[in-house]
């Protein structure tokens, strides 16, 4: 009974380790293939690097944003992701929509900032809209995965665990075979 439980636990542990290796490999491959920007069901996952949107969005969170086709359909209160003049992606709230003739622009502000952003956002610079989905602190992990060390360790550590476990299982199986052989030899000598 105990041997069956140990064997079942051993098989379960092997399956879990193998699943971890497959999952981490896929995570790293998808992340690298999408230039470090994971996509899930048409949504982009972005890491929040500053506290400008706190308390709505915490630093280090992962947020889901939906890439936009209509760059002109935003209203006051919407949270958008845009490229600023330094080619940085920023996610801030629209606090005013300005229209001057044919020219449309958005005045944005981080919820935690004292004042509005310095430059208005042009519609063509808006890349996505925040969906309201946030995973707190997961951004630290995603950034680590995208680093060279993180990618390597996510592939190496589960592999080493599986190899270590395999060595342990093989040694245990070999010692079981040795015991059976010794018992068989002892039985033959005594007969």
Active site residues: 50
The dihedral built from the CA positions of residue 138, 25, 65 and 120, taken in this order, carries a sign that is positive
* More confident: 15 or 26: 15
Sequence spans of domains, the chain: 2-32+148-179, 38-145
CATH number of 38-145: 2.10.109.10
Q: Find the mean pLDDT for residues 3-22.
A: 78
Q: Residues 24-51: pLDDT tens digits?
A: 667 666 665 655 566 667 788 788 888 8
pLDDT of residue 117: 92
118/123 Cα distance (integer angstroms): 16
Judged by phi (left if over 0) then psi (alpha if -120 to 50, else beta), residue 65 lies in beta
80 pLDDT higher than 60: yes
Nearest to 132 by CA among 57, 184, 28: 57
Q: Residues 108-160: pLDDT tens digits?
A: 999 999 999 999 999 999 999 998 888 888 777 777 777 788 777 777 877 78
Query: Mean pLDDT: which of 49-53, 76-80, 129-133, 165-169 is highest?
Result: 76-80
pLDDT of residue 93: 95
47's CB contacts (< 8 A; 6+ apart) are 60, 61, 62, 139, 140, 142, 143
Provide the whole-model pTM: 0.61
39/82 Cα distance (integer angstroms): 17
pLDDT of residue 127: 92
Decide if 58 contacts 137 (C-beta within 8 A).
yes
Q: Find the mean pLDDT for residues 16-20.
A: 76
End-to-end CA distance of the chain: 30
Q: Residues 82-116: pLDDT tens digits?
A: 999 888 889 999 999 998 888 899 999 999 999 99
187 pLDDT higher than 70: no
pLDDT of residue 134: 85
pLDDT of residue 112: 92
* More confident: 191 or 20: 20
Residue 8's pLDDT band, with cuts at 50, 70 and 90, is confident
80/102 Cα distance (integer angstroms): 21
């Amino acid at each position: 009974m105990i041997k069956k439980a140990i064997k079942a636990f051993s098989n379960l542990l092997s399956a879990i380790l193998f699943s971890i290796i497959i999952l981490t490999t896929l995570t790293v491959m998808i992340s690298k293939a999408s230039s470090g920007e994971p996509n899930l069901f048409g949504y982009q996952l972005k890491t929040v690097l500053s506290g400008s949107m706190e308390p709505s969005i915490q630093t280090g969170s992962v947020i889901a944003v939906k890439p936009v086709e209509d760059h002109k359909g935003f209203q006051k209160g919407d949270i958008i992701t845009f490229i600023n003049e330094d080619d940085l992606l920023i996610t801030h709230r629209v606090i005013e929509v300005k229209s001057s003739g044919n020219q449309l622009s958005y005045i944005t502000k981080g919820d935690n900032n004292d004042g509005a952003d310095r430059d208005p956002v042009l519609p063509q610079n808006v890349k996505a809209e925040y969906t309201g989905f946030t995973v707190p602190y997961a951004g630290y992990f995603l950034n680590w995965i995208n680093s060279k060390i993180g990618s390597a360790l996510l592939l190496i550590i589960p592999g080493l665990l599986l190899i270590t476990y395999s060595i342990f299982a093989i040694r245990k199986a070999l010692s079981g075979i040795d015991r059976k052989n010794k018992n068989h030899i002892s039985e033959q000598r005594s007969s």
